[in-house]
A and B are shown apart, each in its own frame.
Chain A
Amino acid sequence: AQSVTQPDIHITVSEGASLELRCNYSYGATPYLFWYVQSPGQGLQLLLKYFSGDTLVQGIKGFEAEFKRSQSSFNLRKPSVHWSDAAEYFCAVGAWEAGNNRKLIWGLGTSLAVNP
């Protein structure tokens, strides 16, 4: 069965430091992978997505992610974190079901705190 694991429940970094959030997935075929961010009291915003092609994808807000098939990973990175990046980050994988239903399988999320 498809699954997504975000090993880190909570991460704290200092402003200006680099960031890497981990995501591992389990999926039988070529995955469609996503990172979403949810700021306090806000809805979810799509940061970036991977469908095929270049394994390093660029997203909004200066984020990037790298797809590594051999490691079943899709880690999110940012070279320099800003205080406004404090939020909950969710990794998701697209799953197709009979009846042409496409849905997302979600990780449990990583809460990011940023120290000034």
Chain B
Amino acid sequence: SAVISQKPSRDICQRGTSLTIQCQVDSQVTMMFWYRQQPGQSLTLIATANQGSEATYESGFVIDKFPISRPNLTFSTLTVSNMSPEDSSIYLCSVGRMGYEQYFGPGTRLTVT
């Protein structure tokens, strides 16, 4: 497994602003993922962030709205840009192992007013 931390744990932001969420892992990993989880809903994959390559975005998510950085094997950031109330959600990062299993951070609860 891995120990994963996220910052901030929660935030309340005004519409039109941007928030950068940090994800830190206690060991080197190749695969990192960013998810969005609406209250009471399942997980929706935003993008896969592998070190050394550009992030791969899922359908419905674009880099201009959700830019991702992956500067090294233990760290990644997700920015939610030009926020609207529809972006209110829990944002989760996870790390992947070669057997497809993923381990998750505690999440960032975002409220946009």
Please list the residues of chain A having a beta carbon within 8 angstroms of any beta carbon in chain B.
Answer: 32, 34, 42-46, 49, 51, 90, 94-95, 99, 101-104, 106-109
Contact = CB atoms under 8 A, between A and B. Distances in A.
B101 interface: yes
Nearest to A99: B56
A100 to B, nearest CB: 9
A43 B92 contact: yes
Interface stretch (B11-19, B42-50, B69-77, B78-86): B42-50
A88 B37 CA distance: 13
Contacts of A109: 41-42
Contact of B42 (A46, A102, A106): A106
A102 B105 contact: no
Nearest to B106: A43
Which of B31, B33, B43, B98 is the most central at the interface, judged by chain A CB atoms within 10 Å of its CB? B43
Contact of A43 (B96, B100, B105): B105
A76 to B, nearest CB: 16
Nearest to B109: A41
A101 B56 contact: yes
Given A49-B99, A51-B99, 11 more contacts: A32-B99, A43-B107, A44-B92, A44-B94, A101-B50, A102-B31, A102-B98, A102-B100, A104-B100, A104-B102, A106-B43
B10 to A, nearest CB: 10
A35 B10 CA distance: 26
A46 B7 CA distance: 22
B106 A42 contact: yes
Interface string B25-56: 00000010100000001110100101000001
A90 B41 CA distance: 10
Nearest to B31: A102
8 contacts: A34-B101, A44-B92, A45-B104, A46-B103, A90-B42, A99-B56, A101-B56, A106-B42
